[in-house]
Amino acid sequence: MTQQNEWTHVGSKADLVPGAGIGARVGDRQVAIFHIPELEQSLFAVDNYCPISGVNIIARGIVGDIQGEPVVATPLYKKHFSLLDGRCLEDDSHRLRTYAVHLDGDQLQLAPQDQGQGAAA
Amino acid sequence: MRQQNLIVIGNGMVGHHFLEQLAESGQADGFHVTVLGEERHIAYDRVHLSEYFQGKSADDLAFSTADQYAQWGFELRLNTAATAIDREAHTITLDSGETLPYDKLVLATGSYPFVPPIEGNDREDCLVYRTLDDLDAIREAASRSNTGVVVGGGLLGLEAANALRELDLDTAVVEFAPRLMPVQVDEEGGGILREKIEELGVQVLTGRVTQRIEAGTNARHQMVFQDDRLLETDLVVFSAGIRPRDELARDAGLTMGERGGVVIDDHCRTSDPDVLAIGEVALWNDSIFGLVGPGYQMAKAALDTLTGGDRAFTGADMSTKLKLMGVDVGAIGDAHGNQNPGARFYRYTNGIAQEYRKLVVSADGKQLLGAMLVGDNSYYDTLLQYALNGLELPDNPESLILPASEGGAPALGVDALPETAGICSCHNVTKGDIVQYVHDGYTSVGDVKAATKAGTGCGGCAGQLKEIVDHEMAALGMEVDNSVCEHFQYTRQELEHIIRVEGIHDFHTLLKNHGHGLGCDICKPAVASILASTWNEYVLNPEHVGLQDTNDTFLANMQKDGTFSVVPRVAGGEITPDKLITLGEVAKEFELYTKITGGQRVDLFGAKLNDLPSIWQRLVDAGFETGHAYGKALRTVKSCVGSTWCRYGVQDSVQLAIDLEHRYKGIRAPHKIKFGVSGCTRECAEAQSKDFGVIATENGWNLYVAGNGGMRPRHADLFAQDLDTDSLIRFVDRFMMLYIRTADRLQRTARWLENLEGGLDYVYDVVVNDSLGIAEDLDNQMARLIENYQCEWKTTLEDPEKLKRFRQMINDDGDDPYVVTVEEREQPRPATAEEKLERIPAVSV
Ligand code: SRM
Ligand SMILES: Cc1cc2nc3c(=O)[nH]c(=O)nc-3n(C[C@H](O)[C@H](O)[C@H](O)COP(=O)(O)OP(=O)(O)OC[C@H]3O[C@@H](n4cnc5c(N)ncnc54)[C@H](O)[C@@H]3O)c2cc1C
Ligand code: SF4
Ligand code: FES
């Protein structure tokens, strides 16, 4: 597997909240990072911007699964977005961008999804 | 070939159906068709006439358009009545004086509402219920009225009564017979029907003969009954049966029935073969058919008579299935059992669920001759099949009317709602719509949601939506899945048991041992609420944090723009000037929009996530506590000023309100809980609209329970009278604890009590008489919850780790640049999407 991501350092392991999300800035974008310790692939990152409400709040949503697919529920209108590919389960006209995310030692790093293997690969 | 002149008199439901059939038959060319309609509207759906009051327009109800008639080649003359038939000359005369020649004539003049010949029946605002114009008149009169009476308690009378009720009139029904709907139901069924209708707030007076109507004292009229009793009303609607509009036929010397109606044969021919009659004006085999189905069959038979086809009218099944004010009524075949000597009966009465069912079977017990249903029509279709097809009955016919599942009667809550009750106001979905989708095979809340959009707006109707779907599915005999969600095969109450019995303190353990998957936004907050009301641990402990809805996570209510509102507790609505000043200062410093809430406190809106801790630090320092506006928990105890200041107050309602608020603050429940305490019977604190309402009396306090404002208001029920403060508190403790333990998620006390088997009496027994022997247990659990109270904001401010959560971005301390406000009425408000476009720097998205 080629590792050609341009990783951006956004924080540290201690910033993660198990079972919940946090927000981080990458350039002029906000990204929501979720930590689901129950899963082998336990980190997920998607846009923090909710296209339904037009507000940066995805990180504040409750995470869980719908029929096995990890999802986040948008806090304002309770729609579900897949953490694997960012699509909205109730309305396929909405999709969140996904990002690659990993821990490099203690460092929490993000990279645009389209440049490397996905968080969900 | 010369076209025959065909005139159709009457452009109602059946006349229209006849014309539509004619047009579709391809044989219309043989006729020059003229249609006369006395009403100014083209034929419309009279069966759904009442929907005109629910927002349908005349156009919505119309079956067709003038253009369509023109296309068919039919000459339509509305606002035109026929006044005479000259059979010899083969002409008819119109109200304009004009005469028209005919070769064939079809009478489809329908019927008119019978107005009993009582003195005063022609007074102003004494109306009938048959046409769109009638409804316009009723609407206009209703706008000037407070009360309305319907004379006639049959099918149409009840429909009219419902309309008056929906026009916000205090409504009464006066029926001459000893029961409602005497044609469809017997005494027992009528009794249940009556109970149900009275529960909807309609007064029912049976066995009353109106003597006269005269000027009233407080209302426009008063009705005087034969026993000299009086009923005052502003508006009267007569609905005392229908009479065929047979005057043209009678004058023309056609054969008539003894009690009216134009006699027809199986081919819809009157005694003059060139004149046919169809619909409610026609009398076949000595019967008038007051339903549209048989009329449509006549229309088809008449068409064949004119065009050489062979369909005949040979009678029609008069079985009916109705929903009147949300009450199911069904009558099949010989429902009374008085047309079949030797018939035998089965009856099922459920006085609690208010259901009544009756089977009429043949002497040998093998055939179903008739059936009567009140309260639940889900049995109708099967029974109709048996009756219509002469199927042999099973060995134990009673099974056909016994409740499908012994597992408890269906919920009464949503059952009592009329079909027309709006459930989802965001998407304008009625209970009837939801029921329809369930009947159409959408058998999960998700499916119905997707199909109707109900519940996808503000989400406030979700609880009711689920109740209706479940209820309808149960009524249809389908299995209802009451699991909280796909991750737990348990109800909230079952989860509560598991958690308490096994002493489980965190979601993870519960999921591992009793569920599967990761959980979701349904089960996590539900379990968080149970854990909180069982152990009352700090909600932001690491193991709980991911379970909380956003509002609980950040201890504030998120607003549409992602900012938060801040609502400090103002117990009982009492606040010192200094505290008010602090609120003002904080609002100014953090640029917050300030509003007095409906709950007697102050809400500060527009707080940014990263400002929440500083705002609360200021408030806690000034002595404020969290108001739990974000939690499914006690909200406010509204009070009135009471005996301290008010000249009428008989107890210190403010003191009690403050005490209650401090006692129950912070306790997590299936839904929010509100109290009101009024200092006297004038009830300025609106206590009867709260989950717990307390009203002061000379001797103590009256306790009311399970009231609700909001979407489906419910007046609280009186629970106990003249209580001293200790008893009051003991009863509230137990009642609340029982509710917390057994209610469904997001179920307010009102809905809980409505759906609870045994209802108020049962709860009273548990709470006051300790009938289950759990009172001590309830008392102890409540004591523990009260003991473990903490101001979540205070705890949070003391813990730097927790405060880390209050950051919009972990790597940027700045505000979210997308949050933009503009000023309105001297305060900030969220910018609209357009306003934002102008103000936010372009972003590469
Ligand atoms: C602020 C306030 C309106 C105001 O400007 O006055 C308000 C605001 C909200 N109400 Fe309310 N309600 C407010 C008084 C009421 C009242 C009046 C009262 O309490 O006397 C009612 C009717 C009484 C009742 O509850 O029975 C009321 C019935 C509702 C309902 C319907 C509940 C129901 O059972 O039908 C909802 C929706 C829900 O809870 O599911 C709701 C929900 C909401 C939410 C939480 C909607 C939301 O999710 O964003 C609003 C957010 C509040 C916030 O951000 O702080 N609000 N709401 C009032 C806050 C009172 C307080 O100090 O805590
Ligand atoms: C509120 C309400 C609810 C109902 N609910 C149901 C139901 O649930 N199920 C059901 O099966 N039935 C129901 N009915 C009954 C149903 O509407 C009638 O059975 C049906 O309308 C009969 O059709 P018709 O064409 O015979 O009469 P109508 O529909 O009454 O049409 C007759 C028309 O002829 C016109 N007319 C009369 N005399 C003349 C004249 N001399 N010249 C020109 N025009 C004339 C009248 O103005 C009228 O427009 C309901 C009726 C009402 C009022
Ligand atoms: S404050 Fe209450 S009534 Fe007003 S918009 Fe919000 S939920 Fe609706
Ligand atoms: S009332 Fe149904 S979603 Fe708002």
Flag whether pLDDT at B114 surpasses 90.
yes
CA distances from B447 to A69, B396, B627 (A): 19, 37, 37
Q: Is any Cβ of chain A less than 8 angstroms from the Cβ of B843?
A: yes
The pLDDT of residue B428: 67
Phi, psi of B73 (to 5 degrees): 85, 20
| Cα–Cα distance list, B817 to A33, B730, B809, B812, B842 (Å) | 19, 51, 11, 11, 11
| Alpha carbons B346 and B399: distance in angstroms, whole number | 10
Token reading at A61: 């949503």
First-to-last C-alpha distance (Å) of chain B: 74
Which conformational region is residue B353 in: left (phi greater than 0), alpha (psi within -120 to 50 degrees), or beta? alpha
Query: Would the CA dihedral through B616, B620, B623, B629 be positive or negative?
Result: positive
Pocket of ligand 2 (CB under 6 A): B 9-15, 36-39, 46-47, 49-50, 81-82, 108-110, 129-130, 156, 159, 245, 248, 279-280, 290-293, 295
Q: Considering only the beta carbons, identify the residue of A10, A55, A80 that sits closest to B562.
A: A55
B416 Cβ contact partners less than 8 Å away, ≥ 6 residues apart: B196, B199, B200, B326
B143 contacts chain A (CB < 8 A): no
ipTM score here?
Answer: 0.67
Report which of B680, B663, B433 is spatially closest to residue B571, judged by C-alpha positions.
Answer: B663
State the DSSP string of A16-65.
--BTEEEEEEETTEEEEEEE-TTSSS-EEEEESEETTTTEE-GGGSEEEE
Q: How many CB pairs under 8 A join A and B?
A: 112
CA separation, residue B416 to residues B91, B324, B455, B788 (Å): 54, 11, 21, 40
> Mutating which of A50, A56, A67, A71 best tests the B interface, going by the most B Cβ atoms within 10 A?
A56
**Residue A87: beta bridge partners?**
A95
Q: Is the dihedral of CA B195, B197, B198, B199 positive or negative?
A: positive
Give all strands (DSSP E) within B698-826, no chain letters.
700-705, 717-723, 821-824
Q: How far is A110 from chain B (nearest CA, A)?
A: 12
State residue B411's pLDDT score.
29
Q: How confident is the model at residue B484 (pLDDT cuts 50, 70, 90)?
A: confident
Q: What is the mean pLDDT of residues B234-262?
A: 95
The distance from CA B392 to its chain's CA centroid, rounded to whole angstroms, is 39
Q: Would you tell me how many other CB atoms lie within 10 Å of the CB of residue B497? A: 15
DSSP sequence for B800-816:
HHHHTTS-SBTTB-SPP
Domains in chain A: ranges and CATH: 16-112 (2.102.10.10)
> What residue's CA is closest to ligand 4, atom 1?
B424
pLDDT at A120: 38
Residue in B687, B568, B580, B581 with CA at minimum distance from that of residue B629:
B568
Token pair belonging to B780? 């102890």
List Cβ neighbours of B303 (8 Å cut-off, separation of 6 or more): B18, B21, B22, B25, B309, B311
Question: Is B50 a residue whose pLDDT tops 60?
Answer: yes
Q: Crossing angle for the helix pair B445-452 and B462-475, nearest 10 degrees?
A: 120
Q: Per-residue pLDDT tens for A21-61?
A: 999 998 888 999 999 998 988 999 999 999 888 899 999 99
Q: Cα(B651)–Cα(B694) distance, rounded to whole angstroms?
A: 11
Choice among B25-39, B92-106, B544-558 with the minimum mean pLDDT = B544-558
Q: What spacing in Å lies between the alpha carbon of B460 and ligand 4's midpoint? A: 5
Domains of chain B: 4-111+244-307 (3.50.50.60), 126-240 (3.50.50.60), 492-548 (no CATH), 634-787 (3.30.413.10)
- Flag the least confident range among B192-206, B309-323, B627-641, B773-787: B309-323
Q: Which residue of B has its CA nearest to A47?
A: B845
Tens digits of residue pLDDT in B594-623: 999 999 999 999 999 999 999 999 999 999
Helices (H), B364-430: 380-389, 412-415
Residues in chain A: 121
d(CA B452, CA B388): 35
Distant-in-sequence, close-in-space partners of B592: CB < 8 Å, separation ≥ 6: B566, B586, B604, B605, B606, B607, B615, B828
Spatial strand order in the sheet of B593-596: B557-558, B564-566, B602-607, B593-596
